[in-house]
Amino acid sequence: MAEPILEVRDLVKHYPLTQGILFKKQVGAVKAVDGISFTLHKGETLGIVGESGCGKSTLAKVLMNLERATAGQVLYKGEDISRLSGAALKAVRRNIQMVFQDPYTSLNPRMTVGDIIGEPFEIHPEVAPKGDRRKAVQDLLDVVGLNPEYINRYPHQFSGGQRQRIGIARGLALKPEVIICDEPVSALDVSVQAQVINLLEKLQQDFELSYMFIAHDLSIVRHISDRVGVMYLGKMVEIGTDLEIYDHATHPYTQALLSAVPVPDPSDREKRERIILSGDIPSPANPPSGCRFRTRCWKAQERCSTELPLLAVPELLAGGAKHESACHFAAERETAAAA
């Protein structure tokens, strides 16, 4: 496997809940991200899935240093970047860029496309000399499949898919090594989603990019990812290659999540077994003790409420699963594999 480019170790992000007007006192914390570790290798795509509110976007923000991590480390090529500020942080930003979810709000409506894509060069003048910038911007437009003559247009003159291409061009401008995609296609039409995904795949090949791809659409994540991590309530519950996760899931939450993927073939649909989880996702301000999923898990036993399951290759499955799963009773589901 390729060298690791981004290593996340026990990353924690808590948002304090305070009480009082003048003298604020902390009464608790929303545990948006609560101890997550994973590694992103060079040239690979790591998909992160999970339902709304599980901390996917917070994870992206912390990795981008848009939010300060409460604890833990983010190592970029072995250097901890989670505590950087000033010039050092600015230098790291050249290598890690982001593509945003909503192409309608992530482009400044008062700037032309040329100004939006050219802005990275103004912030980091060493990347492109002043005279070459217009050319560089036009090249980027060409790379993402837009007409270079659109350089003087405003964002509202483009469709959603085109706007997302502009957002991708802006992310590419600094020639980063890692691009964090925070639900880059969930605001787009289904037909346009495929184009943007294909563009991202092409760019990955051309520029040797590593992607962290956050989404809640399981099909898209499976399509684009080499490895997939499943998050629940601020924790990573299972991580492995796409095949391991999609066909050999061992964590009950992953199995429930996968059983919710729509099956287009009506005859297949009748055969499969849906796992319906009861109850709501608990509040991240007051998560359950032990395993966070136990309140909705059909396998839950006494042990789950007292002992926190660690993300590790399950010992129970001798010779079976090889990927990490955070469950005391990790096991593949017999019927799940049939589909």
Partner 1 sequence: MPERNEDIPDHNDPLRNIQPTDSDHLDYVGQQGLAVEQETLIEPDPVKREQARSLWGDAWRDLRKRPTFIISALLILLLIVIAIWPGLFTNADPRAANLTQDYLRKPDYTDFFGAGWFGYDGQGRSIYARVLYGARASITVGICVTLAVTVLGGLAGMVSGYFGGWTDSVISRIIDIFFGIPLLLGALVLLNAFSVRTVWSVVIALAFLGWTQLARVMRGSVITVKQSDYVVAGRALGAGTGRLMFRHILPNAVAPVIVVATIALGGYITAEATLSFLGIGLQDPTISWGVDISSAQKVIRQAPFALFFPAAALSVTVLAFIMLGDAVRDALDPKLR
Round to whole Å and give the CA distance between 187 and 114: 23
Task: Kindly tell me which residue out of 219, 289, 301, 335 binds partner 1, with binding defined by CB under 8 A.
Answer: 219
Q: Tell me the pairing of strands 227-232 and 45-49.
A: parallel
Is residue 105 a contact point for partner 1 (CB under 8 A)? Answer: yes
Question: Which position among 72, 118, 167, 284 is part of the footprint of partner 1 (CB under 8 A)?
Answer: 167
Residue 222: strand, helix, or coil: helix
The contact pattern for partner 1, residues 114-143, with x = CB under 8 A and - = no contact, is -----xx-xxx-----------------xx
Token pair 């992160």 in the structure block, residue: 48
Closer to partner 1 by Cβ: residue 193 or 295 = 193
The nearest distance, CB 181 to partner 1, in angstroms, is 12
Under the binding rule (CB under 8 A), the answer on residue 93 touching partner 1 is yes
CA 281 to centroid of chain Cα atoms: 19
Side-chain half-sphere exposure of 58, counting CA atoms within 13 A:
26
The yes or no reply on residue 152 touching partner 1 (CB under 8 A) is yes
Cβ proximity to partner 1, 68 vs 303, nearer residue: 68
- Answer for which of 153, 216, 272, 299 binds partner 1 (CB under 8 A) is 153
Rounded to 5°, angle at Cα 277 from 271 and 281: 150
CA distance 299 to 314: 15
One residue of 102, 127, 305, 317 binding partner 1 per CB under 8 A: 102
**DSSP reduced 3-state for 25:** strand
What are the beta bridge partners of residue 111? Answer: none
The residues pairing with 4 across neighbouring beta strands, listed in sequence order, are 41
Choose which of 201, 285, 288, 290 interacts with partner 1 (CB under 8 A): 201
Shortest Å distance, C-beta 34 to partner 1: 23
100 is an interface residue for partner 1 by CB under 8 A: yes
Six-digit token string for 302: 């006494």
Q: Which two tokens stand for residue 211?
A: 């992607």
Verify binding: residue 220, partner 1, rule CB under 8 A: yes
For strand 210-214 and strand 178-182, is the pairing parallel, antiparallel, or unpaired? parallel
* Residue with smaller CB distance to partner 1, 55 or 167: 167
How many residues of this chain interact with partner 1, rule: CB under 8 A? 62
> Binding to partner 1 by residue 154, rule CB under 8 A?
yes
- Give the CA-trace dihedral at 49, 50, 51, 52, to 10 degrees: -80
Q: Residue 20's Cα: distance from chain center in Å?
A: 35
Residue the block writes with tokens 């051309």 = 206
110 forms part of the interface with partner 1 (CB under 8 A):
yes
Helix 160-172 vs helix 133-143: crossing angle, to nearest 10: 130
What does DSSP assign to residue 312?
Answer: B
User: Residues 44-83 vs partner 1: string with x where CB under 8 A?
Assistant: --------------------x-x-----------------
Binding site for partner 1 (CB under 8 A): 64, 66, 89-90, 93-94, 97-98, 100-102, 105-112, 119-120, 122-124, 142-145, 147, 149, 152-154, 156-159, 161-162, 167, 170, 174, 190-195, 197-199, 201-203, 219-220, 222-223, 242, 262, 264-265
